[in-house]
Amino acid sequence: MIRHRSGAQVAAAAVLLIAAGLLFAVRLRSPGQPTLRPPPVPLPLRIAAASDLRFALDELTAGYRQTRPMVSARVTYGSSGTLYAQILNGAPFDLFMSADVEYPRQIAMRGLAVAGTEFTYAVGRLAVWVKTTSPLAPERSGMQLLADARVRRVAMANPATAPYGRAAEAAMRRANVYEHARAKLVLGENVAQALQFVQSGAADVGVIALSLAVAPTVKDMGRYWPVPLDLYPRMEQGGIVLKTDAIDQARAFRQYLLGDAARDVLERYGFYSSDH
């Protein structure tokens, strides 16, 4: 004889089955076993970097990520003085890499950085650069090219905010060509923009960072002459870890920058090591 269960009986049976399943699942867990949680996603590493590092740092961050695939580096390039001002105004960066070590020192004095994390990573160098199609020959004329009557515009970074601009002006004065070149100057917001002025034809010649002139994507586009180091003050480049939520990540990348692999990359881009 078939007995038909009421709706209430079916519902009650279902509740009992669910309860039994939950009890069985609880018993499967050994006492004291922690609940499994997904690993935390690391915060992106936000780097403020001088424009002369545009190509070298792209390669460095790519190499770093091969050993730490979970790390996501976001780099903002600009003139060191502009980035310094942004940091003072609360811009969200974890690591500052400046073309002038004095800017990180000032940040440390203001209490915005992690104590003991200031470091120098390279010595920057200048180059006089022209496009390959130019009839000008910086490799023969050197700094005197800036006084050449054929040169109508000379591009350089703005000395007010960019260490490379200050170095370029110092080199021109030391070579006794500044007065000839002053009326021709076209100032870029940073040294990378000075390069762009020459690439676009807005300037005939540029006094730029050697690291940009030798970059793989640039070296076949132009010719350059390395400016002798005795024509401008030594360009100690340095960085510092800022007080943010990503201090550990910034410290780790700082350590990588001071290692042999990073030094090899920087030297390929025309930087001297800081102990040169």
| Domain coordinates in residue numbering, the chain | 45-123+234-268, 125-231
**What are the CA-CA distances from residue 48 to residues 30, 134, 245 (Å)?**
49, 34, 16
Q: Which fold has domain 45-123+234-268?
A: D-Maltodextrin-Binding Protein; domain 2 (3.40.190)
The confidence score (pLDDT) of residue 85 equals 97
34: phi then psi, degrees, rounded to nearest 5: -70, 155
Half-sphere exposure of 176 (CA within 13 A, CB side): 0
pLDDT at 22 over 70: no
pLDDT, tens digit (0-9, with 9 covering 90-100), for 225-271: 999 999 999 999 999 999 999 999 999 999 999 999 999 999 999 99
Residue 6 banded pLDDT, cuts 50, 70, 90: low
What mean pLDDT do residues 212-223 have?
Answer: 96
Q: Tell me what pLDDT residue 42 has.
A: 60
Query: Residue 189: exposed, middle, or buried by beta-carbon count in 10 A (0-12, 13-18, 19+)?
Result: middle
Q: Examine domains 45-123+234-268 and 125-231 and report if their fold is the same.
A: yes
DSSP assignment, residue 272?
A: B
In CATH terms, the superfamily for domain 125-231 is: Periplasmic binding protein-like II (3.40.190.10)
More confident residue, 33 or 50: 50
Question: How far is residue 128's CA from residue 146's CA, in Å, rounded to a whole number?
Answer: 9
| Nearest-angstrom CA–CA distance, 98 and 240 | 9
What are the pLDDT digits (tens) for 39-64?
555 668 999 999 999 999 999 999 99
pLDDT of 111-161, one tens digit each? Answer: 999 999 999 999 999 999 999 999 999 999 999 999 999 999 999 999 999
Q: How far apart are CA 11 and CA 165, in angstroms?
A: 81
Q: What average pLDDT does range 4-31 have in this prediction?
A: 46
Residue with tokens 């060191």: 80
DSSP state at residue 122: E
The confidence band for 273, taking pLDDT boundaries of 50, 70 and 90, is confident
Alpha helices per DSSP H over 42-95: 54-67, 80-88
